[in-house]
Amino acid sequence: MTTIPNPNYLFEFIHEQSFNTQTCVLNNISQGIPRYDEFVLIDNVDVNFIYDGYYIYNIYQQSSPANLDPAQSQGLVETGRAHVIEADSPSYEYDSPIYFNIYE
């Protein structure tokens, strides 16, 4: 639960197998709905996920819009598990008609 006014949110993602850690600060884009906060995360822009798979995420509240160190934040707000999957690349399949010939 957020306890400071006008917080910035620090997101920390920890890959479950490699323990690779990625952090970023995201803007809350919620439209005044008090039940939840909404964020937009763009891979290779906000965070560069090196591996697909499961990540533990931690969200911290902080006053600073630039701090990327969770130890310098003002408290943990939420923790959970995220699944990062690679988008399917286009498939190059060729459809050729099948002809049946009947010989008598």
d(CA 42, CA 48): 9
Residue 79 lies in a domain: yes
The pLDDT value given to residue 13? 97
Kindly state whether residue 33 falls inside one of the protein's structural domains: yes
Note if the pTM is more than 0.85. Answer: no
Give the C-alpha separation, 12 to 104, whole Å: 72
Please report whether residue 1 resides in a domain.
Answer: no
Q: Look at residue 2 and tell me if it is in a domain.
A: no
* 18 in any annotated domain: yes
Enclosing domain of residue 31: 8-84
99 falls within a domain: no
| Counted domains in the chain | 1
- Asked whether residue 100 carries a pLDDT value surpassing 80, the answer given is no
The pLDDT value recorded for residue 31 is 85
Calculate the average pLDDT of the chain: 90
Classify residue 17: in a domain, yes or no.
yes
Strands 8-15 and 21-26: antiparallel
Residue-wise pLDDT for 42-75, tens only, equals 988 999 999 999 999 999 999 999 999 999 999 9
**Per-residue pLDDT band at 82 (split at 50, 70, 90):** very high
